[in-house]
């Protein structure tokens, strides 16, 4: 099958940050504002994620709508994993951070030992795709724990809290430009976009008295979901983030298939 993930362009990072913001704000809206409860919210979004991943795994190539739907849902579920540990079981954030960091290292280790690569440009088999989505889930949970732990330690306001992950991402960009390994830089940036997006969500959704813009969790979720939808439609039409060009199927292909 063709590579199942998009090319890493500016559009990739834009949607990734939008998804992480939605993961934070939408989970809070369903859980707290609507009073659905942490457990019920986790069950609903976990089921939705499994259905999205079934659709994703059945495809033989990258399809923007299905892929980014899975990312949005996995961002919510990743957030809820950390929230369940912190709010549901009173697990300190430093423990959650440590556990998810070790788990991520294990997943990377097994993935590399089996496939000899961690590059997202080679997601062309089902095992590699399985490792990829498991890694994405753990990075969202880890990013949530790291971001919340940082806020707990620093006591920064919602606006100021955006600056630290942004500065770290820029540092990774500079390191990549100077010749650092692209695979390592990609995954570092991927992890750091989670606290960046979550802090942006907090900044937009928090009240003005708390240093935010006061959009609320619903307003922030609707705004960013709309932006994700518009960007995905654009990419679906233009194909700007496709890693491979699919050749149109010709009649002789069917003849050759029958002969084989």
What local confidence, expressed as pLDDT, does residue 126 receive? 93
Per-residue pLDDT tens over the stretch 149-188: 888 888 887 778 888 899 999 999 999 999 999 999 999 9
Half-sphere exposure of residue 237, counting CA atoms within 13 Å on the CB side? 6
Task: Specify the pLDDT at position 63.
Answer: 94
Global pTM exceeds 0.75: yes
| List of the chain residues with pLDDT < 50 | 245-260
Quote the pLDDT of residue 244: 63
Taking the mean position of all CA atoms in its chain, how far away is CA 224? 14
pLDDT value of residue 159: 75
Q: In angstroms, what CA-CA distances link 208 with 138, 194, 246?
A: 32, 23, 49
CB of 200 closer than 8 Å to CB of 162: yes
* Measured distance CA(94)–CA(149) in Å, rounded: 7
């Amino acid at each position: 099958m063709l590579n199942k993930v998009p090319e890493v362009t500016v559009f990739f990072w834009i949607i990734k940050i939008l998804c992480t913001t939605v993961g934070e704000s939408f989970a809070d809206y369903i859980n707290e504002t609507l009073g659905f409860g942490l457990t019920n919210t986790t069950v609903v979004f976990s089921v939705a994620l499994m259905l999205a991943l079934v659709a994703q795994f059945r495809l033989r190539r990258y399809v923007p709508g299905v892929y980014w739907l899975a990312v949005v849902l996995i961002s919510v579920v990743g957030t809820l994993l950390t929230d369940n540990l912190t709010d549901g079981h009173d697990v300190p954030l430093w423990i959650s951070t440590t556990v998810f960091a070790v788990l991520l290292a294990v997943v990377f280790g097994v993935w590399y030992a089996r496939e000899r690569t961690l590059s997202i440009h080679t997601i062309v088999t089902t095992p590699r795709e399985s490792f990829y989505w498991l890694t994405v889930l753990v990075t969202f949970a880890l990013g949530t724990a790291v971001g919340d732990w940082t806020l707990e330690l620093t006591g920064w306001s919602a606006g100021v809290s955006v600056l630290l992950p942004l500065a770290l991402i820029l540092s990774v960009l500079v390191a990549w430009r100077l010749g650092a390994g692209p695979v390592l830089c990609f995954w570092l940036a991927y992890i750091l976009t989670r606290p960046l997006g979550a802090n942006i969500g907090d900044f937009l959704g928090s009240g003005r008295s708390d240093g935010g813009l006061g959009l609320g969790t619903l307003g922030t979720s609707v705004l960013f979901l709309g932006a994700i939808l518009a960007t995905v439609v654009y990419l679906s039409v233009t194909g700007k983030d496709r890693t491979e060009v699919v050749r149109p199927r010709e009649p002789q292909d069917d003849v050759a298939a029958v002969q084989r």
